[in-house]
Amino acid sequence: MLNVTCAIIIQDNKILCVQRGIGRHLAGKWEFPGGKIHEGESPEDSVMREVREELDLDVEVREALAPVTYSYPDKAVRLMPFLCRVTGGRLHLHEHQAFEWLRPGDLGKLDWCEADQPILEELTAKLLTAAKSRRF
């Protein structure tokens, strides 16, 4: 089982989505940025490092969401998602071929990696609940 993290980066009520690069596993699929946890590294440190390496952004971890375990035909992953906010840097793609900042209601228009699907469901429910509580 491969332990990986991902960052759900929210800025100006939009969420950063990145498209996997050509020649990579699941090329062309969309995901939240992140990657493998190194030996002795905490999941929080991993997600901050991965975002810095992949996107030249510094992020602050705000909250952990429920981990997802998914088995692809060639490997199994345990994906640990974190809600994050940008604290510095300038977005530059190193491993991905595209990015989009999308409103929560538009996330479903992308072709997501299968392991990200449960995260999208939890995120959508969380954001809807937060929106409702602000109205009342």
* pLDDT tens, residue by residue, 30-84: 999 999 999 999 999 999 999 999 999 999 999 999 999 999 998 899 999 999 9
Lowest mean pLDDT among 27-31, 49-53, 126-130: 126-130
CATH of the domain at 31: 3.90.79.10
Number of structural domains, the chain? Answer: 1
Task: Please state, in angstroms and rounded to a whole number, the distance separating the CA atoms of residues 136 and 68.
Answer: 32
Q: Which domain holds residue 29?
A: 2-135
In this prediction the pTM is 0.91
Per-residue pLDDT tens for 87-123? 999 999 999 999 999 998 899 999 999 999 999 988 9
